[in-house]
Amino acid sequence: MLNGCLRNNATSQEALYSHFSPKMLGICYRFAKNREDAEDMLQEGFIKVFTQIHQYRNEGALEGWIRRIVVHTCINILKKNKKFSDSVDITNANSIRIREEMIPSIIQAKQVVECIRSLPLGYKTVLNLYAIEGYSHKEIALMLDIEESTSRSQYTRAKAMLEEILIRKKIIQKPKKKIKFYGAVSPS
């Protein structure tokens, strides 16, 4: 399949696309505003994958390589469309409330994805990149043209907001607070 793609063979390309596109579309969907935008991102991403596939050096999983390209494509599209920079509510998103109806209750995976998607654009982007894609705050800062500290703070807020949503939707349980003891006095 990979060799076929290297030879620009359409059948191999379709096979590769069919194999990875559902998962990659799921990734795009987490970044995108809607399904159409996600499909556009996927399309751009796979065009890059096929045109740059000769750069893949068989180091690491192909899926990881494709995933990185797709994620970068998503970020580039968001930046290009100024959707990201416009909504650098990233710094003001505290006041944004999540509408309950935005979160459909379907299956768990989709529920979690939809909960992430319901976050403000800045929040969800940072959260997607850090918590799910595994980028460091430094890398995220470079990708999004923001300060590293901003990335950290936005992630903290995004995480808190997501937790709240997940708890409210009863997808997770509120963690029990541990009782912390200060000083020398022991409860026993």
Partner 1 sequence: MDNDFYTGEFEQLLKEKTDLFRMFPSKRVWHSIYNNLHPSRRWPSVIMSLLLMSSLSFIGYLNTGVNNSNGHTTLAITNNPNAINNQETAENKNIFFSARKTQKQTIVNYNTSFADVITNETDFLTYTIVKNNRPNYIYNTTAVKEFTKLVSNKNAEQNSSKNFEQAVDNYIKSNKNFADIAVTNKRQYAKNKKRRSQIINSNELSTVNIESSLITTTDKIVSTKVENSNFDLNDISKEDKNTIAKIDIIEDKNRLKNDEKVWIENYALQNKLAGKKWKQHLAFQIYVTPAVNYRKLTTESRGSTTAFATADINNVISQKPGFGIEAGASINYAFANRMQLKTGLQLNYTNYNIDADQTNHPIITTILLNDPNTGYSYSAARTSTTSNVFNSGALQPVTLHNRTYQISLPIALAYKLSSENNVDWFVGISAQPTYVFGGNAHLISTDLKSYVSDPSSISTWNLNFGFETYMNFKMRSYNLQVGPQVRYQVYSTYRKYLALIEKPYAVGLKFGLTKGF
Residue 148 · residue 138 · CB < 8 Å: yes
Residues 18-57 as x/- pattern, contact with partner 1 by CB under 8 A: ---xxx-xx--xx----x--xx--xx--xx--xx------
91 secondary structure, DSSP code:
G
Sole window of 78-86, 93-101, 139-147, 165-173 interacting with partner 1 (rule: CB under 8 A): 165-173
CA atoms within 13 A on the CB side of 128: 29
Residue 46 · residue 24 · CB < 8 Å: yes
Sole window of 73-81, 85-93, 123-131, 139-147 interacting with partner 1 (rule: CB under 8 A): 123-131
Nearest-angstrom CA–CA distance, 54 and 178: 53
Nearest-angstrom CA–CA distance, 8 and 106: 39
Lookup: tokens for 187: 């409860």
Residue with Cβ nearer partner 1 (145 or 164)? 164
Residue with Cβ nearer partner 1 (47 or 142)? 47
| Of 94, 116, 99, 97, the residue nearest 171 (C-alpha) | 116
Sole window of 79-87, 89-97, 130-138, 145-153 interacting with partner 1 (rule: CB under 8 A): 130-138
Q: Does 14 bind partner 1 (CB under 8 A)?
A: yes
Binding residues for partner 1, rule: CB under 8 A, are 8, 10, 13-14, 17, 21-23, 25-26, 29-30, 35, 38-39, 42-43, 46-47, 50-51, 108-110, 112-113, 116, 127, 130-132, 134, 159, 162-163, 166, 170-173, 175
